[in-house]
Structure 1
Amino acid sequence: MKLHNKAPQWNEETQSYVLNFNGRVTLASVKNFQIVHPNDLDYIVMQFGRIARDHFTMDFQYPMCPLQAFGVALSSFDAKLACE
């Protein structure tokens, strides 16, 4: 199965692109992301984001298993080490 990053939506109020994490993610970061099911873009398979300076939250559901979700979360740190 090929999963996709959810595309952010433009927010006129903040003049920026945003994703709706429904209160689970509290800080903006280049590491924040949501992965959606290819057949239903509203079905969020995994979301990952910053909640404090050195703390992150990760939520996932079927079809991902804990090991897959953890691996994806870890890989998000590798490519963006120098961005913040």
Structure 2
Amino acid sequence: MLEETIAYAGLAPSTPHTLTTKESLERELERIRHQGYALDDQEYAEGVRCLAVGLRGSSGAVVAALSVCGPLNRMSDRRLPELAQLVM
């Protein structure tokens, strides 16, 4: 499914931080599975971070997502664990 998604959407960079290879995306997806949340660390917009979690339905499948976004100074490395816990 990853190959189909990449073929459809591509991996064009929005910023210098955007993941642009299948290998880097696979590593990031593994990290997300392990920690339980995803982090957009200036990948879409410079100076902005977004943190998201998948919400699972009764079948266990992800049916929705919840995210919070903000400027780097409000979503600092120090605050990320706290924010992740609140969103999860």
TM-score (norm 2): 0.27
Greater strand proportion: 1
Which of 1 and 2 has higher RCO (CA within 8 Å, sep 6+)?
1
Greater helix proportion: 2
TM-score (norm 1): 0.27
